[in-house]
């Protein structure tokens, strides 16, 4: 998005140097980058649409570019150079369910939507509509042999080892913890809000379970 001299974006007028069609094309590439670098840019950065419909994009692009260029400097000066979680790198089921609500800073609703998406995708994988949430995952990862209408999810082949028992028991207990410790409190407390950090940690936990389900082999009754 440049002006006629190639030095920047026109902000003193109610138009862009490029046509609106060209700027729209550029925006389709810029927006995913902004979502990655500043996930809340759509709500945290003011929009002056009366002046220029692309004003928020411009402000967000300036901020994102500076963050990317000076990322190492920020780490060196602020400390905490440990690994970070990016919401866009979560399992697609989880981020796909949460993305739109997350971008509008509805963090609690984003987590709830991600849980619903995980439940639905697990039902789809197992072709089951008769059970959901905790019972669904308990039956899915049960060590019992599958029966008609109740296939199982197998995270690894049955080699008779304790590890085989452990990974499936762990998946059942982990899923139960998610629904008891995350889903139920959120659904029963309408006035409870989450910070972005709390919501991110919840989404990370959901992403772990989603990857286990997605990568598991389906075992059906013979």
Q: What is the pLDDT of residues 84-106, one digit of tens each?
A: 788 889 999 999 999 999 989 99
Burial of 163 (0-12, 13-18, 19+ CB in 10 A): exposed
SS3 breakdown of the chain: % helix, strand, coil, rounded to 5?
60, 5, 35
* Sequential DSSP letters for 147-195: BTTB-EEESS---S-HHHHHHHHHHHHHHHHHIIIIIHHHHH-TT----
Share of the chain above pLDDT 90, in %: 54
Q: What pLDDT does 79 receive?
A: 62
Q: What pLDDT does 75 receive?
A: 65
Cα–Cα nearest to 209, from 167, 174, 182, 166: 174
Give the residue, 84 or 202, on which the prediction is more confident.
202
Are the C-beta atoms of 150 and 137 separated by less than 8 Å?
A: no
Q: What pLDDT does 4 receive?
A: 44
Q: What pLDDT does 9 receive?
A: 44
- Whether 190 shows a pLDDT value over 60: the answer reads yes
Q: What is the pTM of this model?
A: 0.69
The rounded distance, in Å, linking the Cα atoms of 40 and 16 is 24
Give the residue, 163 or 34, on which the prediction is more confident.
163
Are the C-beta atoms of 176 and 141 separated by less than 8 Å?
A: no
- Whether 73 shows a pLDDT value over 80: the answer reads no
> What value does the mean pLDDT take over residues 22-44?
85
Q: What pLDDT does 154 receive?
A: 98
> What value does the mean pLDDT take over residues 137-164?
96
Q: Could you give the count of Cα atoms lying within 13 Å of 76 in the half-sphere of its Cβ? A: 4
């Amino acid at each position: 998005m440049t002006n006629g001299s190639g030095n920047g974006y026109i902000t003193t007028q109610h138009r862009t140097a490029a046509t609106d069609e060209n700027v729209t094309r550029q925006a389709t590439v810029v927006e995913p980058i902004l979502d990655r670098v500043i996930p809340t840019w759509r709500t945290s950065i003011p929009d002056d649409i009366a002046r220029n419909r692309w004003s928020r994009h411009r402000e967000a692009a300036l901020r994102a570019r500076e963050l990317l260029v000076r990322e190492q400097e920020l780490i060196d000066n602020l400390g905490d150079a440990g690994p970070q979680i990016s919401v866009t790198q979560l399992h697609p089921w989880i981020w796909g369910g949460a993305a739109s609500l997350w971008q509008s800073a509805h963090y609690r609703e984003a987590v709830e939507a991600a849980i619903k998406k995980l439940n639905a995708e697990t039902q789809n994988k197992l072709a089951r509509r008769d059970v959901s949430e905790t019972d669904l995952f308990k039956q899915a990862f049960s060590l019992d042999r599958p029966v008609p209408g109740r296939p199982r999810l197998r995270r690894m082949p049955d080699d008779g080892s304790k590890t085989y028992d452990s990974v499936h028991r762990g998946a059942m207990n982990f899923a139960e913890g998610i629904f008891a410790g995350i889903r139920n409190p959120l659904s029963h407390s309408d006035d409870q809000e989450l910070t972005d950090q709390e919501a991110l940690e919840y989404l990370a936990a959901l992403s772990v379970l989603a990857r286990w389900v997605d990568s598991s082999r389906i075992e059906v009754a013979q």
